[in-house]
Amino acid sequence: MPSRTVAIITTGGTISAAGAPGATTNYKDGVFEVDALAGSVPGLSDLAQIKGENFCSQSSTDLTADQWLGLAARVVELTATDVDGIVITHGTDTLDEIAYFLHLTCHTDKPIVITGAMRPATATSADGPLNLYQAVAVAAHPESAGRGALVVFQDTIYSARDVQKLSTFKVDAFGGREYGCLGYIRDHDLHYLYRSEKRHTSSSEFDLNTVTQLPSVPVLFFGQHSPST
């Protein structure tokens, strides 16, 4: 039995979606919950003992600020238990945003790994199983400790601070632009290249212990237009 323990938290998104057999569009989010997702990945139980829980089942664009706070609180609760790392499956539309939020607000040195998929679980060559396998491998590895929140996607490990979604349809949808990546993973073998020196997680200046509601920030949109003739 593996000596490491990883908690998997599902929030919905394309990785949990189902649609017409083989199709990559017009699918429904949140069809498959944590047991089904974990059970669909061969060899996952060889990487770590898995503890799974369903946080929610919806598109990432529908997640509220209150749910972000609740997810961060749950992550912190789990890091105080015997788990060695946490994996969060998430929709890709706001995956980089929630990753950075957790990177700044969760005070822990244990790995927090966020992953997802660009194709639903019922698609031909669905990318979710590989991403989930590699996310668990990263979360279970001792070398991942102290690196903050990480995004694992298509053989690549990114810092939550630097990662961006760059494509709306390619399976290799994320990148670090000028910052690159922290490392790579092939199967379950990790190859870290460097470590971010910016403050995060256990050294972050942000503290949610007394926060019950995130502040509302108005956004004003302006545009140039020609006067009517």
Please give the full DSSP string across 60-122, using - where no structure is assigned: GGG--HHHHHHHHHHHHHHHTTT-SEEEEE--GGGHHHHHHHHHHH---SS-EEEE--SS-TT
Take residue 62 and report the two structure tokens written for it.
């529908």
Q: Which of 10, 14, 89, 94 is catalytic?
A: 14
Domain 5-203, CATH homologous superfamily name and number: L-asparaginase, N-terminal domain (3.40.50.1170)
Confidence of residue 164 (pLDDT cuts 50, 70, 90): very high
Q: Residue 173: its pLDDT value, please?
A: 97
Take residue 89 and report the two structure tokens written for it.
């499956």
The closest of 27, 40, 34, 41 to 10, measured between CA atoms, is 34
| pLDDT, tens only, 171-215 | 999 999 889 999 999 988 999 999 888 999 999 999 898 899 998
The answer on pLDDT for 225 being more than 80 is no
Give the start-to-end residue ranges of the domains of the chain.
Answer: 5-203
Confidence of residue 229 (pLDDT cuts 50, 70, 90): low
The answer on pLDDT for 228 being more than 90 is no
Take residue 146 and report the two structure tokens written for it.
């102290």
Residue 122 is a catalytic residue:
no
| pLDDT, tens only, 56-80 | 999 999 999 999 999 999 999 999 9
Residue 50 contacts residue 6 (beta carbons within 8 Å): yes
